[in-house]
């Protein structure tokens, strides 16, 4: 009887809508990994290819056999109104996330290296650079993933459900005098011993003695040093201001300027008309109204990317990128396929030494607290 009920849900997604919040068959995924600063233990690796990041509550990330994809349970993500736990880009702004990261490292990735390699990678926040899931800077790659958006999702939601991240070159710094330098690991660790980094800003390390005599260190005043931390994701699929959108970002500056917030507004933007500053470009590659976005069915995106090639310390564009996206789904039992971004030349990427990795889930932005819940599945990537 249970199998028959599951089958009916799979065939009739409209029936599933009313049962979307039920949790009887859901299995919570309890582990989270800081991929920048820690390796993933065996029990933390999900379905042999993912690790989870972000908020860890029983409902935020679950296996969902009641909404399978290709015969396997999908991943159900959820954030409630009070689940924002991160600082936003602006003062007083918040954001929340629960995602699966395709990139991570394990202890085996460090097995043949000196013991100091892992310790240093923790300090540099580059542990994941030693593992899986990062494609090379300037490479070409194809990606596939699927999303199931229930009709119960509010139209004023503000969330990214799939994004590609850069991998910042953490030993790239700016001195208090403004000189940009690529340090050796040893040179950077010398700074690390004297400073505490908050995002991209270095603070003097101040010794503090507790009542019990225990010594701890806190961040003092900013000392003028800056470190590379990254910026907006080079590519994001999401919902904002009543739209589904695909946004591409490019930053050709060798050391990113975090005060430059060139990030195009999906509501005001024209498709393929970029917003640019001296170094950064932000482009809406595609958008449609949230009301028109198909609900209660699996939407599969096939994405082909030629990542932009950059000139490292020269801060130049050596070769523009290219983006191609199709979306397909069943509507009235008929297969629908739309070529929504057709081999468009576009600036997409970051001027980092290393490349990019994929994450999907919920990344709720823009100070939004609108509840979010949907499912994702079917990820794969291949070199082209």
Residues 348 and 364 in one domain: yes
The count of structural domains within the chain is: 2
Q: Are residues 178 and 318 in the same domain?
A: no
92 and 156 housed in the same domain = yes
Q: Check whether residue 349 and residue 213 sit in a common domain.
A: no
User: Would you give per-residue pLDDT tens digits along the chain (384 residues)?
Assistant: 334 333 333 333 333 333 444 445 899 999 999 999 999 999 999 999 999 999 999 999 999 999 999 999 999 999 999 999 887 666 677 889 999 999 999 999 999 999 899 999 999 999 999 999 999 999 999 999 999 999 999 999 999 999 999 999 999 999 999 999 999 999 999 999 999 999 899 999 999 988 888 999 999 999 999 999 988 999 999 999 999 999 999 999 999 998 898 999 999 999 999 999 999 999 999 999 999 999 999 999 999 999 999 999 999 999 999 999 999 999 888 999 999 999 999 999 999 999 999 999 999 988 899 999 999 999 999 999
Domain finish residue from 181, 201, 227: 227
Task: Tell me whether residue 46 is in a domain.
Answer: no
Q: Residue 121: inside a domain, yes or no?
A: no
| Together in a domain, 68 and 198 | no
pLDDT tens column, 194-228: 999 998 999 999 999 888 889 999 999 999 999 99
Structure tokens at 26: 């859901």
Same domain, 145 and 9: yes
Please indicate, yes or no, whether residues 139 and 286 belong to a single structural domain of this protein.
yes
| Containing structural domain, residue 208 | 172-227
The three-state DSSP-derived secondary structure of 110-173 is HCCCCHHHHHHHHHHCCHHHHCECCECCCCEEEEEEEEECCCCCCCCCCEEEEEEEECCCCCEE
Tell me, yes or no, whether 204 and 316 share the same domain. no
Residues 210 and 73 occupy one common structural domain: no
The verdict on 217 and 269 lying in the same domain is no
CATH number, domain with residue 149: 2.60.120.200
299 assigned to some structural domain: yes
Q: What is the reported pTM? A: 0.91
């Amino acid at each position: 009887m249970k199998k028959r009920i599951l089958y009916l849900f799979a065939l009739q997604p409209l029936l599933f809508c009313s049962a979307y919040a039920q949790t009887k068959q859901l299995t919570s995924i309890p582990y989270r990994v800081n991929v920048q600063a820690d390796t993933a233990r065996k029990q933390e690796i999900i379905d042999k290819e993912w690790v989870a990041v972000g908020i860890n509550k029983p409902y935020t990330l679950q296996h969902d056999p009641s909404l399978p994809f290709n015969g396997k349970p999908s991943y159900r993500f959820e954030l409630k109104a009070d689940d924002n736990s991160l600082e936003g880009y602006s003062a007083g702004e918040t954001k929340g996330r629960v995602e699966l990261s395709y990139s991570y490292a394990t202890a085996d990735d460090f097995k043949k290296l000196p013991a100091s390699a892992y310790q240093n990678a923790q300090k540099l926040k580059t542990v994941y650079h030693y593992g899986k899931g990062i494609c090379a800077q300037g490479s070409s790659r194809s990606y596939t993933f699927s999303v199931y958006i229930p009709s119960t999702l509010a139209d004023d939601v503000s969330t990214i459900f799939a994004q590609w991240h850069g991998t910042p070159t953490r030993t790239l710094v700016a001195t208090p005098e403004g000189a940009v330098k690529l340090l050796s690991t040893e040179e950077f660790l010398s700074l690390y011993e004297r400073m505490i980094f908050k995002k991209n800003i270095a603070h003097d390390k101040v010794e503090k003695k507790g009542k019990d005599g225990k010594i701890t260190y806190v961040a003092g005043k900013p000392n003028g040093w800056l470190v590379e931390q990254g910026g907006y994701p080079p590519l994001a699929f999401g919902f904002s201001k009543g739209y589904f959108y695909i946004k591409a970002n490019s930053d050709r500056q060798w050391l990113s300027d975090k005060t430059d917030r060139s990030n195009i507004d999906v509501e005001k933007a024209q498709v393929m008309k970029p917003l640019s500053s001296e170094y950064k470009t932000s482009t809406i590659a595609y958008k449609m109204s949230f009301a028109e976005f198909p609900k209660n069915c699996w939407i599969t995106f096939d994405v082909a990317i030629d990542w932009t090639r950059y000139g490292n310390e020269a801060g130049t564009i050596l070769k523009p990128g290219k983006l191609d996206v199709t979306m397909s789904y069943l509507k009235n039992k008929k297969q629908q396929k739309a070529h929504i971004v057709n081999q468009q030349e576009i600036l997409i990427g970051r001027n980092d030494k290393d490349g990019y990795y994929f994450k999907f889930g919920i990344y709720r932005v823009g100070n939004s607290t609108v509840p979010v819940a949907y499912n994702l599945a079917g990820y794969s990537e291949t070199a082209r």
